[in-house]
Amino acid sequence: QVNVAIRSSLQSLREKIEQLRELLLRAVSTRQITQLEGDRRQNLVDDLLTRHKQLEASYRNEGPEPDVTRSSLMAGGAKRGVTNPWLLEESEETRGLGFDELRKQQRRIIEEQDAGLDALSSIISRQKQMGQEIGNELDEQNEIIDDLTNLVENTDDRLRNQTRHVKMVDKKSTSCG
């Protein structure tokens, strides 16, 4: 009975690892995760497959001494004194999280980024609106300045004409009298 349970558990483990590999390939192909993260996770899946093979070999009494195999399996990725470099690079935020938990965390981060982008978009839209209003105000002010310039030029022309008339009248009055 124990042998049947062990074989069943090993088979179930193998199937779950294969499902994990398929989900990982799908996540990389649909760009849910980056290629670099996909490679890192693929190495973790390969490590799981290696551990699965060690368990099967231990079950069949093949390979190294069972105690050595057990200790290497339970050492969190240590195999014959060599640590897994992929585990060392994993951040504290994601260490120990399962695939679903990582996906939820990634969705939460994306939602936060989306909210930030929405806020940034509304700020930029407001700045655009303010810029357009400032541009409209400048156009109106330029029209007022142009109108004032025309009025000043007209007034200047009339003032010169009147000054000429006054000089002519003054000349005539001095010549006559």
pLDDT tens per residue across span 57-66? 887 775 455 4
pLDDT tens per residue across span 77-123? 444 444 554 445 666 677 677 778 888 888 988 998 988 998 999 99
- What confidence score (pLDDT) does residue 105 get? 86
CA trace torsion 13, 17, 20, 22 (10° rounding): -130
pTM for this prediction: 0.38
Answer yes or no: is pLDDT of 167 > 70: yes
CB contact burial 150-175 (16+ within 10 A = b; e otherwise): eeeeeeeeeeeeeeeeeeeeeeeeee
Q: How far apart are the first and last CA of the chain?
A: 146
pLDDT tens per residue across span 7-50? 888 889 889 999 988 988 888 888 888 888 888 888 888 888 88
